[in-house]
Chain A
């Protein structure tokens, strides 16, 4: 455990550089550049607003304007989904590097998570602007609380990312399976719509840690309070467990990766 932490501390500069490299390279050869970070969530929220107005799904029981609600949900969702998918690709994309240079492999995963964090921050800013537009101004205290309540979501994403990165390095199937699972989870988890009480989906989501890890921070930010705190506490424990186990698995497995990738 100490060695794992020591590795992260000694490779913090490398993590930053790798993040910086990917961030620069990602938008360099595109006409719209960084604007893509903003366009993607706006597009998705636009779709859901349109579907909402067409009556495809109901937002009854929602005591907030839909747009900031959906934007906040998407921003939080993004840190999980973006984090998991970029982490799971981290080793494969650096395959050449790993085969030639001895570097702490966990830095690649942390740097990949950095991409998701950067996107999250941009989306957070968009959400904040939408809140202002609709006259929703969270007080500073609940905002800080909400920010802290987001951390377990990050840990869950990182932990899953560690496991998936190793698994994907061995079996490429994992990439497709991850993409599929994430798009399914986005629809099944109440990110873009509130749950209808007593529905099958609501019963399923009672067991879904993502439900609490996303909705509690969002409730805290937009309402200033949240229900489901005991379920949230269990989900936090789960996220912490996934993070520690995933990180440990990755740390132990990393010497074996380069010859298998």
Chain B
């Protein structure tokens, strides 16, 4: 059970920035292969850039490769190359066995056809035979949970139903190689748990390559990771190392930007520990103080100071706001203020967060200053959870089988 199912050697992909030139390059590629000439050289032509360069890995049955990296890093291109949708510009992919893809499931659905009809069409598109579909039809319908609407044209489906049916078909494929692109970000929680179970069951006898921004998913599923940044492999190896490198990269790649009317300004933002020492790393559940220096050119009554935390998947996970705290802050012209927000237990999930600070009007409509991604804070913990917030609790265990003594 340990044969190599995916082997990528020196994979590279270049794209053209201009549509017109891209078409000419495409025509040239086709003409070259038609006349049996060597493909264009591995150097960049005018207007071209590397979307992916020098990717090498091997994946055996039962292994799972997590592809991580910032948006636009080339992860999806790599998945498309593995899926055979686009050819690599250089290098070679060798795949053994049947390839299944959970990428935009339901892409082949025809809106006018019913769910039943689309199961057969989509099944054929992903390579299932009629007999296989007949046999699995009930399982597909059951998994999707939409028996009631199976004879309704899919254009009347909600987007959730659409994805559920698409996923249900795709998961029935029993592939040797499974490619997944952020698929688990869809559907309701109940359906997601079904999907996890299905993937978990497949993972024992399948080689999986998957793209995700959800680090908890990566740390759970991946046996190795490939961190891609701007088309280059930035890290390759074990999952913990991959995630750590990604966090580092995420922290170093923040590009602060500033918006707002400029009538009030945030002069500085820093994090302090209990000894008033500036820090950028905090243990989960430890106290944290955020200190800001603020000045204003005009008078602002009831100014609203808002600190927001964004995770690696670019999701807003937490906020600390004077509006919610019902703390009135009045700014007067040409006065500099130091404002501290002291958080007793900083309980975000382990990871790196980008921090933005805003000065808003009382009704939160006018943005006086908006320092986007002005700094980062890393939260450390021994274990990584799934949700953004991790409440520290005292866990009390009571053995309910023990006879309870009645003292009264």
A residues in contact (CB < 8 Å) with B = 13-14, 16-18, 20-21, 24-25, 28-29, 96-103, 166, 170-171, 248-249, 252-253, 255-256, 258-260
Contacts A97-B125, A101-B126, A253-B33 known; list 14 others, CB within 8 Å.
A13-B130, A18-B121, A21-B110, A25-B110, A25-B112, A28-B113, A96-B107, A100-B103, A100-B104, A101-B85, A101-B125, A249-B34, A252-B30, A253-B34
Q: When chains A and B are docked, how far (Å) is the Cα of A255 from the Cα of B33?
A: 10
A13-B130, A253-B30 known; A97 vs B23 contact (CB < 8 Å): no
A96-B107, A100-B107, A102-B84 known; A256 vs B29 contact (CB < 8 Å): yes
Chain B residue contacts of A17, Cβ below 8 A? 120-121, 124-125
Q: When chains A and B are docked, how far (Å) is the Cα of A109 from the Cα of B126?
A: 17
B22, A260: Cβ atoms under 8 Å? yes
Q: Which residue of chain A has the shortest Cβ distance to B28 in the bound complex?
A: A256
Chain A residue contacts of B125, Cβ below 8 A? 14, 17-18, 97, 101, 103
Question: Is B241 engaged at the interface, CB distance under 8 Å to the other chain?
Answer: no
Q: When chains A and B are docked, how far (Å) is the Cα of A20 from the Cα of B125?
A: 13
B30, A21: Cβ atoms under 8 Å? no
Q: When chains A and B are docked, how far (Å) is the Cα of A255 from the Cα of B87?
A: 6
Q: In terms of DSSP, what is the predominant structure of the interface of chain B?
A: mixed
Output the residue of B22, B103, B124, B153 with the most chain A CB within 10 A: B124
B124, A18: Cβ atoms under 8 Å? yes
Question: Is B27 engaged at the interface, CB distance under 8 Å to the other chain?
Answer: yes
Q: When chains A and B are docked, how far (Å) is the Cα of A259 from the Cα of B52?
A: 15
A256, B112: Cβ atoms under 8 Å? no
In the complex, what's the smallest C-beta–C-beta distance from B93 to chain A, in angstroms?
A: 12
Chain A residue contacts of B153, Cβ below 8 A? 28
Q: When chains A and B are docked, how far (Å) is the Cα of A100 from the Cα of B85?
A: 7
**17 residue pairs from A and B, CB less than 8 Å apart:** A14-B125, A17-B120, A17-B121, A18-B125, A20-B121, A21-B110, A21-B113, A28-B112, A99-B85, A100-B103, A101-B125, A170-B23, A249-B34, A253-B30, A253-B33, A259-B26, A259-B86
Question: Is B266 engaged at the interface, CB distance under 8 Å to the other chain?
Answer: no
Q: When chains A and B are docked, how far (Å) is the Cα of A30 from the Cα of B83?
A: 37
**Chain B interface residue number, banded:** 20 to 34
Chain A residue contacts of B129, Cβ below 8 A? 13
Q: Which residue of chain A has the shortest Cβ distance to B99 in the bound complex?
A: A102
Chain A residue contacts of B104, Cβ below 8 A? 100
Question: Is B101 engaged at the interface, CB distance under 8 Å to the other chain?
Answer: yes
Question: Is B145 engaged at the interface, CB distance under 8 Å to the other chain?
Answer: no
Q: Which residue of chain A has the shortest Cβ distance to B129 in the bound complex?
A: A13
Query: A-B contact count, CB below 8 Å?
Result: 85
In the complex, what's the smallest C-beta–C-beta distance from B11 to chain A, in angstroms?
A: 14
Question: Is B291 engaged at the interface, CB distance under 8 Å to the other chain?
Answer: no
Residues 281-297 of B, flagged 1 when their CB comes within 8 A of A and 0 if not, give 00000000000000000
Q: When chains A and B are docked, how far (Å) is the Cα of A29 from the Cα of B99?
A: 35
Chain B residue contacts of A16, Cβ below 8 A? 124
Q: When chains A and B are docked, how far (Å) is the Cα of A166 from the Cα of B129?
A: 27
Chain A residue contacts of B87, Cβ below 8 A? 255-256
Q: Which residue of chain B has the shortest Cβ distance to A25 in the bound complex?
A: B112
Chain A residue contacts of B187, Cβ below 8 A? none
A101, B107: Cβ atoms under 8 Å? yes
Q: Which residue of chain B has the shortest Cβ distance to A28 in the bound complex?
A: B112
Q: Which residue of chain A has the shortest Cβ distance to B29 in the bound complex?
A: A256
Chain B residue contacts of A18, Cβ below 8 A? 121, 124-125
A102-B85, A258-B86 known; A252 vs B34 contact (CB < 8 Å): yes
- In B44-98, the 8 Å CB interface with A consists of 80, 83-87
B113, A25: Cβ atoms under 8 Å? yes
Chain A residue contacts of B103, Cβ below 8 A? 100-101
Question: Is B108 engaged at the interface, CB distance under 8 Å to the other chain?
Answer: yes
In the complex, what's the smallest C-beta–C-beta distance from A261 to chain B, in angstroms?
A: 10
In the complex, what's the smallest C-beta–C-beta distance from A170 to chain B, in angstroms?
A: 5
Chain A residue contacts of B273, Cβ below 8 A? none
Q: When chains A and B are docked, how far (Å) is the Cα of A20 from the Cα of B107?
A: 17
Among all A-B residue pairs, the 9 with the closest Cβ atoms:
A17-B124, A100-B107, A253-B30, A260-B26, A255-B87, A102-B84, A25-B112, A21-B121, A100-B104
Chain B residue contacts of A97, Cβ below 8 A? 107-108, 125
In the complex, what's the smallest C-beta–C-beta distance from A89 to chain B, in angstroms?
A: 15
Contact of A170 among B26, B34, B110, B127 (CB under 8 A): B26
Question: Is B117 engaged at the interface, CB distance under 8 Å to the other chain?
Answer: yes
Q: When chains A and B are docked, how far (Å) is the Cα of A186 from the Cα of B130?
A: 40
B26, A258: Cβ atoms under 8 Å? no
A101-B101, A103-B125, A170-B23 known; A24 vs B29 contact (CB < 8 Å): no
Chain B residue contacts of A166, Cβ below 8 A? 30
